[in-house]
A and B are shown apart, each in its own frame.
Chain A
Amino acid sequence: GAGVSQTPSNKVTEKGKYVELRCDPISGHTALYWYRQSLGQGPEFLIYFQGTGAADDSGLPNDRFFAVRPEGSVSTLKIQRTERGDSAVYLCASNFLGGSNTEAFFGQGTRLTVV
């Protein structure tokens, strides 16, 4: 597609439930990033993929959060036993690392609300 696509755009879930958030990056982009943006805050880094592997997962807040990118394209962010504090906008971004193309292109985000 032309841009980074994230689904669903909105997700409401009950505390304790499991959720999956999907990101479809720009075609050909090898690098994929997940960020979390809480109300009134800037995006906070969660995890970075280069190809299929998670090259940096230092931003994942705890072991309830996990992400995969099995074929080096689409990625899924998985949150187990959701808590109200997980409510935020989850942003995905992609780029091609190399040359001068250093900026990342963001999707519109998934707004997760845990009730």
Chain B
Amino acid sequence: AQSVAQPEDQVNVAEGNPLTVKCTYSVSGNPYLFWYVQYPNRGLQFLLKYITGDNLVKGSYGFEAEFNKSQTSFHLKKPSALVSDSALYFCAVRESSGGYQKVTFGTGTKLQVIP
């Protein structure tokens, strides 16, 4: 069975500092990996994905994530945090083989950017 772990319930970072939100995954076969962001009372917004190719993936709003196969990780990063980045972040994984495969989400990490 596939799974995602987001070990931190909350991450606090000062505005202007770099941020990292951690994610590790477990899947049989090769993974497709995703990050979504959720603002209060809003649905999930897609940020970025890793499908294949370059391990460093760039996404929306200046976010990027690094796929590390040996560590089975896909940490979300941003060089300089903004107060407006404060939100709930979800990592998700699915197996890459075949057509449809179920997507499994982590429990989320609340990012708080302090002015």
A→B interface (CB under 8 Å):
4, 6, 31, 33, 35, 40-45, 48, 50, 55-56, 58-59, 91, 93, 97, 100, 102-109
A residues within 8 A CB of B46?
103-105
Q: Given A43-B44, A43-B90, A103 and B102 touching (CB < 8 A)?
A: no
- Interface size on B, as a range, is 20 to 34
Which one of B4, B44, B107 contacts A106 once the chains associate, using CB atoms below 8 Å?
B44
A residues within 8 A CB of B106?
42
A sample of 16 cross-chain residue pairs with beta-carbon separation below 8 angstroms, ordered by A number, consists of A6-B43, A31-B100, A33-B103, A35-B105, A41-B108, A42-B90, A42-B106, A43-B105, A44-B105, A45-B104, A48-B102, A56-B102, A91-B44, A100-B51, A106-B45, A108-B41
Contact with A along B66-91 (1 / 0, CB 8 A): 00000000000000000000000010
| Distance between A35 CB and nearest chain B CB, rounded to angstroms | 8
Q: Given A41-B108, A42-B105, A48-B102, A103 and B34 touching (CB < 8 A)?
A: yes
Q: Does B99 contact A (CB under 8 A)?
A: yes
For residue B42, which residue of chain A has the nearest CB? A108
Chain B CB within 10 Å — which of A42, A50, A102, A106 has the most? A42
